[in-house]
Each structure stands twice: as C-alpha cells, then as structure tokens.
Structure 1
C-alpha cells in the first residue's frame, strides 16, 4: 500500500545550511494494516506523514528518498495528480479539528466539498444524503440538523468526528491520523477512536496513526515504529515492542505508563530532553539521555537501524549499539503489554 524508503526532509537555518528534521526514514504499510508512529513531541512524526501526503510547508523540502503509493512514486509528482489522490485515495485526520475546519462554513458543506471535488457529477441531494450518512457512521446524533451548524457550535469531540467523516468521505485506501485524540478527555477519546476504527473498517483502509499514547497503541496497532530525533530507533509488531522492547528509549517510554501493574505511584521520566534538530550529537542521538550505555565509546557513532536476529519477513529492527539495555531506575514491574492493557 505504502512504501517509504530513505526519506529525508530538511529546512534551511539562518546560515543557509540544510538541517534534517527527519532523516533516512523507511517503512512499509500493507493493505488493512495499522502502523503507529510513536515518539515525543518534535521527533518528526507529523513531518514524515505530511511529506507522504504532499502537505509540507514551503520552508521544508524533501532532499532524498522515495515515497510510493501502490507502486506510484509521489516524490516529484505533479500537484494536479497529488490532489487527485489526496482526499480520494489517501485521507488525513488532522491533529486540531478547529484549525482543520473552516470557521465560516457549515460542517456539512465542508464534508460535501470533499465529496464533490472528487465526483463532480454528484447531485446536491445525493451529496447531502451522503454527508448525513457519513456523520451518522462516526456517531454524530441528528446528522442532518448538525450538518448545518458551524464548527464553533460543535464540541471538540464532535468536531473530531466531523474531520474523520471528511477523511473517509471517498472511501480512501490509506488513512493518516495525526494524534486524533489530543486534548480530549478519556471518555471522548474512546468514542473518537471507536468512530475512527469503525470508519476504517467500513472503507477497508490501512492506517498510519501518529500518537504518544502507548495504551492506545497497544489496542489498535499491528506494527509500531518508535521515532526519536528525526529517525526510527525501533520497529516491530505491537507484541514485540510491548513485550520485549530492545531500545532503551522504547523501554523508557513503556516505563512511563502508570497502571495497576506499576510498582510506584510516580511515573518514570526519561532524563533530559530531545535535542533540537540543529544540535543533534554526531553519534547516537539518544546517548546524552541514556543512563546506562550512553557513555560507551561505541555510542559516539550513529547506530544503524538493523534487523534483530531471528526477525521474519517483516523485519524487527533496532538502532542501538547495545540492544536490550534498560535505562537505570526505570520500573518494570510487569510485562509492558499487560501494563498498557494490550489486546
């Protein structure tokens, strides 16, 4: 469905130098598969998928790499062809529905626009009926009446449902969801994710979800890619990542989950902060925060994302000179999959 190889996206600093925001990113998504990209804020998750969707801001540029959708190269594709794919074959649920929706147009007219752009022969009556069906499919009550309302008249959770309805309007084969439950309370998060999963199953789509919610990842993902400072540091199936993480950064993220299995009342916090893109160390980007192996001489060299021994066709990989190393003082009271409530 989607094949990204060696993708690098850069911006120019004040001195005119190219600074990579994401570097040498590679991953694939199979039909009907759910891939979750996980990492701290600023790790490059959204930039990666904006590049895939052809929605990078003007100051960012793809300098190398390949992005293929169903075998068709997207890098360098004419914008007219991109527009034909975007919204029809590839749908995106943006992080903030209030900024994704036009405040001066009704919600229904915006969803209808997503339909008519890709089907100009669609009659107005049929379009309005389809809008109501889409809103109903994502759990919006009284869809015909609510479709005439404006975004500010909808709650946050309902606006997110509207954005999901817009993303699936043309039954895309690939959905990209950029932190779809951010700033929503727990109950509404569950409702929105249920609506998103129902929508994905209805259109039989694959999905790439960007998130930092590991408990959510455990419930919905087939495969997981852990991203740190612009690069993937570990990839594998959801079971491999949660049950036997290899990279210390992944272990630190898992240790931060507080559940009934936790042996402490305080969440674990990885020491330090991610480096700014222009200030990344030349070696392992995580080394300054790694409390156990970060001072090893090998960590002065950048580790490659290499397959783990015994990995199958969909290779499990980790970018670490000491895979399996744990961060010191990180609590591991029970298997991570149990603590996160994995399916």
Structure 2
C-alpha cells in the first residue's frame, strides 16, 4: 500500500523518462501507474525500486479478447522482458481504462472480460502470475445509490452481470479492482454541489448513514462501492484508487489553491491509515496526475490538460507534503554535454523546480 502517481505522456514536449523517474523518486512516490507500456518509460523505471502498473490501451482490447497468442505476445514484450532484462518492478497489468463510461461504445462490454482472461492466461504461461496481478480500472459511474447514501450502493443494471463476472475472476486470480474517483467532476457538472464536501477539512455538513458519518465525498463515494461489492458477494475484493486528483486550469474551480487543498487533504486523510467508515485501514491510491498533458483531448473540458502536480517542463505548481524538496545549488556533472537534447529539459527540472547537487 502507499501513494503512487499516474504518469501520462500526452505532452507536446515530454520530459525525458529518466527525468520523470527522478521526479517520482525525489518526491517519494513509491508506485507509478502508466496508461500503456512505453519502452523508454519502463526502461527508465528499471532498478528504481518504484512499483509499476502497466496498461493495455482500450484500442488493443479487441485483439487481446480474440487471441490468447496476442496476449502472450504482449506480455512477453511489455512485461517479461522488462522484469528480466531491465529489472522493472512490474506488479500490475491494467486491462483497459474506464471501459464502462456511458459515453463509450457498448463494444467494450463484450471485450473486457475476454481480454482480462487471456492476459491472465498469458501471465500464468510466462510464470508471472504469482507476482504480477491483473486489474481493471473503472470509473465511479459504474455504481450508484438508490437512496443517495453509501448503503444504497449497487452496480448499474446495464452492466451488473459483466461486472460480477469480472469481480469473480479477479477474486479467483488474486486481482484487484481499480476505481477512478474524481470529486472535481461532480462539482464541474453540478454548480449546486456543496463545494466544501469535496475537501477533507470537515467544513461541510456531514452525511449520516445508519451508524456511519461521512465528512467528505471521497469516503461516501468509496463506501458506495464497498456496499455494492458487499451486496453482490464480493466484500473481500481489494480496491485501489486508480485516479484521484484536482486540475489547476480550464474551469473556475480548477485552480492551484483548490488543487493543493484537495490533494494535500487527501494525502493526509489516507496516510493516517484510518480508511473509510466501511473499510478501515490503509487505502492504496494513485494521484492523478504527475505532469500536465497539454496534448490531451479537451472534449470532456479544458481542464483535461491541467491535472498535473507539475507543469509539462517539470516545474512544480504547488508544494505538497509528500516530499517536494527545497531548491538547492545545482551543478551539472562533468560528463554532461550541453548539446545533449536531454540536457536542457533535465536541467530545467533539476535547477528550476526542486533539487540537485549534481545532475544525473
């Protein structure tokens, strides 16, 4: 368990992967979640000690679903090779991402489960099923509450059968469910949503549900999922929070003040180890996101390009108590070359935002 970060790469001028790994390590992120299996990103993560979740993009699910051989080839190239040759600590394979968004085509419903099965078969054949687990990252729109309270939680009727089949498979294969929870979206889509309830400083009017009291939206949302799992016989399925965060631009509520308040509040909340009213204990989570992605589609909203805790050039937007280290004197190591195309972005990161007493 612990805190991780999502590493998206849709930047017009992406940082060198080695620099991003340094960013993760300097700020004590022990885990990282990728949306694909980019070779250079994974190579840079080798011997870093950082636990890695690699992703299979949604557009690859049909081929994975139709062919075990395709899944075996993908696992060999993107998991086995990196573990054995590059010493990457790959612990999870995420099969797709947010397949059941209502805006997505129903075709994902038909392929997700088959792809999940074939990837697990490929991991078993590769001798990795004991150390690498499968997961399915889902959005919180897959469950709802008939009462408006967590205890009314259940899965959407149109996808319930598919969800239960996936959960049964994950339980049988020691997998986990990854849920993306984004309170910002609730505020974005509903101007009357009580803004204080999205934060963690207990300034909102709490919600009472039986003997449980909810002071923030995250706990209530998470426990709605817990109730849905319990109601369908999967109360022991492990949950990880695959994405949670706050953007800094593109909307009146997307700003640095709110982003810092939300992310710091969330970190303090879960690192306390108290969990939620229905699931006490440490919560596993990945902040969304490490770095802005200025090349992302803005169809959902202009805020989509501004989820990062860091700008595209690696400079920090705000300070968080994970460990954003103080500025220090920066010197390039003697072997560094000024004409190296990676040197300028790396120096921009090392000297402009955080730390270094020697580059590299």
Q: TM-score range by the shorter chain?
A: 0.3 to 0.5
The TM-score, its normalising length taken from structure 2, stands at 0.33
Please state which structure has a larger fraction of its residues in strand.
1
